[in-house]
Amino acid sequence: MNKPLVLVVEDDKPVRNLITLTLDSQGYRYQSAETGNAAILASVSHQPDLMILDLGLPDMDGLEVIKKTRSWSNMPIIIVSSRSDDTDKIAALDAGADDYLTKPFSVDELLARLRVALRRLQYMRDFSPADEAVFTNGRLRVDYAAGCTYIDDEELHLTPVEYKLLCLMARNVGKVLTHNCFIKEVWQNTLPEDTPSLRVYMATLRKKVEIPLGQKLIQTHVGIGYRMLRLTGDKVISE
Amino acid sequence: MNKPLVLVVEDDKPVRNLITLTLDSQGYRYQSAETGNAAILASVSHQPDLMILDLGLPDMDGLEVIKKTRSWSNMPIIIVSSRSDDTDKIAALDAGADDYLTKPFSVDELLARLRVALRRLQYMRDFSPADEAVFTNGRLRVDYAAGCTYIDDEELHLTPVEYKLLCLMARNVGKVLTHNCFIKEVWQNTLPEDTPSLRVYMATLRKKVEIPLGQKLIQTHVGIGYRMLRLTGDKVISE
DNA sequence: TACCATTTTAACAAAGTTATAACATACTTC
DNA sequence: GAAGTATGTTATAACTTTGTTAAAATGGTA
């Protein structure tokens, strides 16, 4: 998980600031909401990794927020509340919250409990049925979950860059991708005027993929970029 | 989960009784231990679903119990302790505990937090790849329940880390696992510092496993990670 | 304390990957 | 059709990652 996104739901500004500043200093990304409705909206649209939720919100009870969120998500929810009563804690936990801290709380403890939740989340993601997503195009097959590429049932050995390029084109079959698009995706944020290696990689990819396939797969668009052709079943003789 | 089994580790008899009686009344099965060593023994041999752990034990620090348990299990651990200091909480949570209650605690809150942990456990079991008790790949066999590894019927002696690495790959046969994936799983809470040890372990694992097998099992994906190959064993009788 | 097994660190060799250059070929424009 | 530009190809060098070994730290145990 690269910089987890935490949704902070808290109407009291000083407390909210305390939390968000702390999160920021620890390298987390965050987003905040002051009301229950805003929280639900934000959690649906931004899909945060975790929610820190105050129970006393102006527009609706925190319990409602938990229940609504749980109707579609299993994201960890950590309650931070001034209600220290047992019944409140139990109600929140049973409604689907993962942890409950009573105000005033220690920032360090909050961080520790946040780490616990994220650790578990990571574990669940690692072990949950990884996207069985497999891309197929003619006899070419890319197994994203396994990180492997096949032609028929022969495995292709691709270097990381080659694999990334192929995936990028696979996820956009039929579309022309510009040079900049490739460079941005594969070489992240390096200098934009560097295309010579892209050509080299295309050459090796073609050698590795088109030769065993026996047909053209990567099409050049002069002055623009490249695209992967959509292959039909067995043999295609195009162009 | 039919009647979850809870391991209660607590040397103070009245508290222990309070907890176990409560568990009993709620329909949980339980087992108790008064010392750290007894706890570890019990958790290995009886494989409880969850552990309730007091940090102040006569023979060893509770932190040690957490760490030892975490070296082979991901069972939920709920701390119940009289130490209310932040640093104690943080140390325990970072060592692998899932929750932390300070004495005196409310029985009802403990039960609620227990339900949270079990709820999550259930979810994880539902979604984790069908946990077979024994993994077989060609002539390699890993008995998860017993924690043993065999080639043909010869037992392999693996250190804890080696065993974990092998299990991780076994549970993901055919998939490429990234370095980070290994580090997160095996070294739990250490940070994304580059771990040269991983390479060393792979080397020893290969020596221990591939040599007696007589074939390649662990494949390197440069710049990415490793994966275990699915072997088409000679000795496989049926699918 | 000293011993043992395990884990981590360090150093270097080996292997694999990526970038660069040089040249060949194809394409576009006029 | 020629000039100029863009792309394809190949080889090589620089670089990064990985494998391997040994030694040092760690931690548990008698």
Rounded Cα gap, residues A40 and B217, in angstroms = 47
- Number of C-alpha atoms within 13 angstroms, CB side, residue A93? 23
Number of A–B residue contacts, CB under 8 Å? 81
Nearest nucleic acid nucleotide to A186, CA to C1' distance:
C18
Q: Please report, as a single letter, which amino acid is at residue B226.
A: Y
| B82-109 pLDDT tens trace | 988 999 999 999 989 999 999 999 999 9
Q: Compute the C-alpha angle B125/B130/B131, nearest 5°.
A: 75
Query: Listing from the earlier edge strand, what are the strands of the sheet with B148-151?
Result: B134-137, B140-143, B148-151, B154-156
Return the pLDDT at B235: 38
Mutate to test the interface with B, among A116, A118, A144 (most CBs of B within 10 A): A116
Nucleic strand D interface residues, CB < 7 Å = A 179, 195-196, 199-200, 202-204, 206-207, 220, 222-224; B 64, 179, 196, 199-200, 202-204, 206-207, 220-225
How many CB atoms neighbour CB B129 within 10 A? 11
Spacing of C-alpha A41 from chain mean position: 18
| B115-124 pLDDT tens trace | 999 999 988 8
| A26-55 pLDDT tens trace | 999 999 999 999 999 999 999 999 999 999
Determine contact, residues A54/A8, Cβ cutoff 8 Å. no
Query: pTM to 2 decimals?
Result: 0.65
Nearest to B85 by CA among B106, B56, B113: B56
DSSP annotation string for A150-185: EETTEEE---HHHHHHHHHHHTTTTSEEEHHHHHHH
Three-state SS at B150: strand
Nearest nucleic acid nucleotide to A224, CA to C1' distance:
D6
A237 touches strand C (CB under 7 A): no
Return the pLDDT at B185: 82
Nearest to B74 among A98, A115, A123 (CB): A123
Nearest to A205 by CA among A167, A179, A231, A239: A167
Please give the structure tokens belonging to residue A115.
Answer: 């780490």
Q: Which residues pair with A151 in a beta bridge?
A: A140, A154
**Which residues in chain A touch residue B221, judged by CB atoms under 8 angstroms apart?**
147
Nearest to B184 among A90, A115, A122 (CB): A122
| A2-19 pLDDT tens trace | 789 999 999 999 999 999
Nearest to A89 among B112, B128, B176 (CB): B112
Nearest to A234 by CA among A136, A135, A156, A139: A139
Spacing of C-alpha B171 from chain mean position: 14
Q: Using pLDDT thresholds of 50, 70 and 90, give the confidence band for residue A235.
A: very low
| Sign of the alpha-carbon torsion through A112, A118, A120, A126 | negative
Gap from B159 CA to C4 C1', in Å?
14
Rounded Cα gap, residues B60 and B103, in angstroms = 19
Q: Using pLDDT thresholds of 50, 70 and 90, give the confidence band for residue A77.
A: very high
Mutate to test the interface with B, among A119, A124, A141, A150 (most CBs of B within 10 A): A119
